[in-house]
C-alpha cells in the first residue's frame, strides 16, 4: 500500500485527468548547421539533419561486444568460487558487486547485439585460445585459483581479477583506437561506463591487496 507523502486524501479529488491540450503539430523548422569556428552557418535539409549513416555501429563495435561477453563470463566463473574458497567478508562483498555489475553488463551487451541482428558469441568461446581476450586468465591460472583456499585464494583472486579487469581497459582502448569504433552514441556510453567501472574496481582491489600484505 502506498501513501502519498503528506497529501491528504481529499486533495486527490483535485486531480485533473486528460485535460491536456492536443499536441501542437511539429512546426516546419529552419534547420541550420553551423560551420567550424569562424565559418559561416548554412541551411540544411531534414534528410541531411537525420543522416546517421556515419555513426552506425562497426565491426570493431561488434567484436568488442562479442569479446566482452566472453571476458565477463570468465569473471563470473572466478566470482563463483568465492563463496566456497574465501573466508573474507570484504572479498565476498566485492565478489557480489562484480557479479551484479558484470551480469547486468552482459545482459546489456546481449541486447545491444540482438537488436542489431549481430551474432552472440558461442557460450564457451572464452575457453578456447581463439576466444581469449586481453587479461584473461589461462587455464593453468584458473586451475591454480580453484585449488587455493583462504588467504591464498584471496590473493590469487585479487591479482587475477586485477589482471582480468586491466584486460577490459585494454579492450576499451583498442576500441577507441580502431577506425570508426565507439562512434554510435550507445556504444560510446557503454564503453565509457565499462572503463569507469573497471578502473574503479581495480583501484579497490589494489587497496585490498595492499591491506592484506601489511
Shortest distance, position 179 Cβ to another protein, whole Å: 5
- CA 171, 101, 187, 110 dihedral sign is positive
How far apart, in whole angstroms, are the C-alpha atoms of residue 187 and residue 114?
A: 14
List the interface residues with another protein, window 135-164 (CB under 8 A): none
Shortest distance, position 33 Cβ to another protein, whole Å: 5
Return the number of the residue (143 or 196) whose C-beta is nearest another protein.
196
List the interface residues with another protein, window 4-43 (CB under 8 A): 4-12, 14-21, 23-41
| Site residue total, another protein (CB under 8 A) | 96
Closest by alpha carbon to 134, among 158, 160, 166? 166
Cβ contact 168:64 at 8 Å: no
Does residue number 134 form part of the binding site for another protein (CB under 8 A)?
no
**And the C-alpha cell for 9?**
486524501
Q: Is 133 exposed, middle or buried (0-12, 13-18, 19+ CB in 10 A)?
A: buried
List the interface residues with another protein, window 171-210 (CB under 8 A): 172, 176-186, 188-189, 192-193, 195-196, 199-201, 203-204, 207
C-alpha distances (whole Å) from 118 to each of 40, 75, 82, 168, 182 are 41, 23, 33, 21, 16
How far apart, in whole angstroms, are the C-alpha atoms of residue 172 and residue 61?
A: 10
Shortest distance, position 56 Cβ to another protein, whole Å: 4
How far apart, in whole angstroms, are the C-alpha atoms of residue 79 and residue 196?
A: 20
Shortest distance, position 101 Cβ to another protein, whole Å: 8
**And the C-alpha cell for 3?**
501513501
Q: If DSSP codes are grouped into helix, strand and coil, which group holds residue 42?
A: strand
- Pick from 77, 99, 118, 159 the residue near another protein by CB under 8 A: 118
Return the number of the residue (117 or 129) whose C-beta is nearest another protein.
117
Does residue number 168 form part of the binding site for another protein (CB under 8 A)?
no
How far apart, in whole angstroms, are the C-alpha atoms of residue 180 and residue 94?
A: 35
- Pick from 111, 128, 138, 170 the residue near another protein by CB under 8 A: 111
List the interface residues with another protein, window 81-110 (CB under 8 A): 89, 93-94, 97, 101, 107, 110
Does residue number 62 form part of the binding site for another protein (CB under 8 A)?
yes
Amino acid at each position: 500500500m502506498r501513501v502519498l507523502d503528506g497529501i491528504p486524501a481529499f486533495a486527490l479529488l483535485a486531480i485533473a485527468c486528460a485535460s491536456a491540450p492536443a499536441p501542437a503539430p511539429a512546426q516546419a523548422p529552419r534547420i541550420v548547421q553551423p560551420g567550424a569556428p569562424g565559418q559561416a552557418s548554412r541551411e540544411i535539409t531534414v534528410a541531411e539533419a537525420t543522416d546517421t549513416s556515419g555513426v552506425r555501429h562497426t565491426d570493431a563495435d561488434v567484436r568488442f561486444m562479442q569479446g566482452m561477453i566472453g571476458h565477463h563470463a570468465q569473471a563470473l566463473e572466478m566470482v563463483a568460487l568465492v563463496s566456497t574458497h574465501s573466508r573474507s567478508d570484504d572479498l565476498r562483498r566485492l565478489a557480489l558487486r562484480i557479479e551484479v555489475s558484470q551480469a547486468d553488463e552482459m545482459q546489456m551487451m546481449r541486447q545491444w547485439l540482438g537488436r542489431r541482428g549481430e551474432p552472440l558469441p558461442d557460450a564457451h568461446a572464452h575457453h578456447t585460445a581463439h576466444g581469449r581476450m586481453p587479461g584473461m586468465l589461462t587455464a593453468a591460472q584458473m586451475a591454480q585459483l580453484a585449488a587455493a583456499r583462504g588467504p591464498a585464494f584471496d590473493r590469487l583472486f585479487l591479482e587475477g581479477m586485477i589482471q582480468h579487469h586491466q584486460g577490459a581497459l585494454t579492450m576499451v582502448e583498442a576500441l577507441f583506437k580502431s577506425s570508426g569504433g565507439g562512434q554510435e552514441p550507445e556504444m560510446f556510453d557503454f564503453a565509457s561506463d565499462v572503463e569507469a567501472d573497471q578502473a574503479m574496481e581495480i583501484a579497490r582491489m589494489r587497496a585490498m591487496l595492499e591491506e592484506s600484505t601489511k
